[in-house]
């Protein structure tokens, strides 16, 4: 992963206080690899790297960060800034009905997203919503919209495969006006690939409907191909927003960066399941971490300047010393302490040599993720359970696991680990702990 590669590089660069022409080259090569692995299109990667380089050169490296970690911070901020400009919600500033036109390839998720948006607009913005399908090429497509529209609690305007999409759209708009709908969502036909007839049709629909939003729906799993699709749609239509679907898949989501850069339109929503509640406002910062393949390590890097919370460490030491016992709240505090020290790789640099050798065999990326999962598990426990872990039996374990979104085995593992730690703490009797924390805190 990127963070592994950068922390390897960081070792070589230890002690360098600035990002320079000399040390940035290797690091940028790693960033480029990470972006390509996430399926960001090559020309977009080149552009992006050039911008990052310009921002990074001469930057001072703060505190206990290495140049590699500082660069992660810069890359992440640039990614988030590139993907995150603009207003996120649907624009409805139009004489009602506000028309929303859905565009995209077949299978990209237009029909599903139409229903998801209908539900969103009804529930979050209290709108009266009508949907209509202009997909006359597949009879099932019209039925599909009818079904999901009913599930969304919106109204559906009938259309049939023998009609022309333009006639359907006009009739629906007329109906929406007369029945005082706030919003008309127009689902359209997609093709398996871009073709001229499809583009002409959607351009005509756009001209007739004058939509306030023209949303380009694109499958996050499309990777590199998303670029050509985005180009074609941008040339055909003045896109006002992007919906990135199937974000629940295992793609690293590089399509987001490519499509954003190529269309210039803001990414408004992310589809995260087949179900109608699976629509989220797009979160650029979270997505930046996903593209770089390092979860929340970025957040850790940003936190490093906060340093170690010595007060918390002292409290913990005093507690252990007084024999009050080491409970899950303390365990949680320790996990959080590790994070505030700037991530495990920074922490590792500060460990004694023989411990470093051992820790070197650990996958840092995974370790960071583990910390987060453990935090999630403890945070799913009640205060009582945290103080008295012995209360946590099968039923509670299942509830905690469900709350944290993990398997019960993981809860078991955490509890075992906690017990071991508790045993260690008893032996250390506080004094040793304080020393250890001081050493790690620098
Ligand atoms: P259209 O051809 O563009 O109208 O695409 P559809 O809305 O029919 O969606 C194609 C397939 O993708 C269907 O099986 C949907 O259930 C699925 N789909 C759409 N959006 C999402 C999403 O965000 N996540 C997942 N997992 N599946 C989705
Ligand atoms: Mg469809």
Return d(Cα 393, Cα 60) in angstroms, integer: 51
Range 307-441 has CATH code 1.10.260.30: yes
Indicate the domain borders of the chain. 2-84, 98-281, 307-441
Percent of the chain with pLDDT over 70: 74
248 is in an annotated binding site: yes
Return d(Cα 20, Cα 252) in angstroms, integer: 29
Q: Specify the pLDDT at position 298.
A: 45
For 37-97, the DSSP string reads: HTT--HHHHHHHHHHHHHHHTTPBPPTT--HHHHHHHHHHHHHHHHH--S--SPP--SSSS
Return d(Cα 18, Cα 66) in angstroms, integer: 9
Return d(Cα 205, Cα 199) in angstroms, integer: 10
User: 183-187 and 98-103: which strand pairing?
Assistant: parallel
The 10s digit of each residue's pLDDT in 7-30 is 565 555 555 666 777 778 877 888
Residue 275 pLDDT greater than 90, yes or no? yes
Q: Specify the pLDDT at position 440.
A: 42
User: Of the spans 56-65, 130-139, 280-289, which averages the highest pLDDT?
Assistant: 130-139
Return d(Cα 342, Cα 302) in angstroms, integer: 8
Alpha carbon nearest to ligand 1 atom 19, residue: 109
pTM: 0.68
The 10s digit of each residue's pLDDT in 393-404 is 999 999 999 888
Q: Specify the pLDDT at position 294.
A: 58
3 state DSSP class of 217: strand
The 10s digit of each residue's pLDDT in 96-110 is 999 999 999 999 999
Residues in the chain: 442
Which is the CATH superfamily of the domain at 2-84? SRP54, nucleotide-binding domain (1.20.120.140)
Answer with the residue of higher pLDDT: 60 or 79. 79
Residue 369 pLDDT greater than 80, yes or no? no
The 10s digit of each residue's pLDDT in 169-214 is 999 999 999 999 999 999 999 877 778 888 999 999 999 999 999 9
Residue 136 pLDDT greater than 60, yes or no? yes
Return d(Cα 4, Cα 367) in angstroms, integer: 11
Alpha carbon nearest to ligand 1 atom 2, residue: 107
Mean local confidence (pLDDT), 400-423: 87
Return d(Cα 78, Cα 294) in angstroms, integer: 16
The 10s digit of each residue's pLDDT in 242-262 is 999 999 887 888 999 999 999
Which ligand number lies closest to the CA of residue 145? 2
Q: Specify the pLDDT at position 61.
A: 65
Mean local confidence (pLDDT), 355-359: 46
Binned at pLDDT 50, 70 and 90, residue 51 comes out as very high
ipTM: 0.99
Answer with the residue of higher pLDDT: 173 or 291. 173
Q: Specify the pLDDT at position 288.
A: 84
Binned at pLDDT 50, 70 and 90, residue 283 comes out as confident
User: Of the spans 6-10, 160-164, 282-286, which averages the highest pLDDT?
Assistant: 160-164
106 is in an annotated binding site: yes
Overall fold of domain 98-281: Rossmann fold (3.40.50)
From 107, 109, 136, the mutation candidate for ligand 1 (largest count of ligand atoms within 8 A of CB) is: 109
Query: Quick check: 365 and 1 in contact, CB under 8 A?
Result: yes
Query: Quick check: 247 and 213 in contact, CB under 8 A?
Result: no
Alpha carbon nearest to ligand 1 atom 12, residue: 109
User: How many helices (DSSP H) and strands (DSSP E) are in the chain?
Assistant: 21, 8
Answer with the residue of higher pLDDT: 438 or 233. 233
- The CB of 106 under 6 Å from ligand 1? The reply is yes
């Amino acid at each position: 992963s990127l963070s592994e590669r950068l922390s390897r590089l960081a070792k070589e660069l230890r002690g360098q206080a600035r990002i320079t022409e000399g040390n940035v080259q290797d690091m940028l090569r790693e960033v480029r690899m990470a972006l390509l692995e996430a399926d960001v299109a090559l020309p977009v990667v080149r552009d992006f790297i050039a911008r990052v380089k310009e921002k990074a050169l001469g930057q001072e490296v703060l505190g206990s960060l290495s140049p590699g970690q500082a660069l992660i911070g810069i890359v992440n901020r640039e990614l988030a800034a590139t993907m995150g400009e603009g207003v996120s919600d649907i624009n409805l500033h139009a004489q009602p009905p506000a028309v929303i036109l859905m565009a995209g390839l077949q299978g990209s998720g237009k029909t599903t997203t139409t229903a998801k948006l209908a539900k969103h607009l009804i529930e979050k913005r209290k709108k009266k919503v009508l949907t209509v399908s202009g997909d006359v090429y597949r009879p099932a497509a019209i039925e599909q919209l009818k079904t999901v529209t009913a599930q969304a609690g919106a109204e559906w305007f009938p259309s049939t495969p023998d009609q022309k999409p333009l006639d359907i759209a006009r009739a629906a708009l007329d109906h929406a006006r007369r029945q005082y709908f706030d919003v008309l969502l127009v689902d359209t036909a997609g093709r398996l690939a871009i073709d001229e007839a499809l583009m002409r049709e959607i351009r005509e629909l756009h001209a007739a409907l004058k939509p306030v939003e023209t949303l380009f729906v694109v499958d996050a799993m499309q990777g590199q191909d998303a670029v050509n699709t985005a180009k074609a749609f941008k040339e055909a239509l003045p896109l006002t927003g992007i919906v990135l679907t199937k974000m629940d898949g295992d793609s690293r989501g590089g399509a987001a960066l490519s499509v954003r850069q190529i269309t210039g339109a803001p990414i408004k929503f992310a589809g995260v399941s087949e179900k109608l509640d699976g629509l989220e406002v797009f979160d650029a910062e979270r997505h930046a971490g996903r593209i770089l393949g390092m979860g929340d390590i970025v957040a850790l890097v940003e936190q490093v300047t906060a340093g170690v919370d010595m007060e918390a460490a002292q409290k913990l030491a005093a507690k252990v010393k007084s024999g009050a016992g080491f409970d899950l709240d303390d365990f949680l505090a320790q996990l959080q302490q590790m994070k505030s020290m700037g991530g495990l790789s920074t922490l590792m640099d500060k460990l004694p040599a023989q411990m470093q050798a051992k820790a070197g065999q650990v996958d840092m990326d995974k370790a960071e993720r583990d910390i987060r999962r453990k935090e999630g598990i403890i945070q799913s426990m009640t205060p009582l359970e945290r103080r008295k872990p012995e209360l946590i039996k099968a039923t509670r374990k299942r509830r905690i696991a469900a709350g944290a979104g993990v398997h019960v085995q993981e809860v078991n593992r955490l509890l075992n680990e906690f017990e071991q730690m508790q045993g260690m703490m008893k032996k250390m009797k506080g004094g040793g702990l304080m020393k250890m924390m001081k050493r790690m805190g620098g």
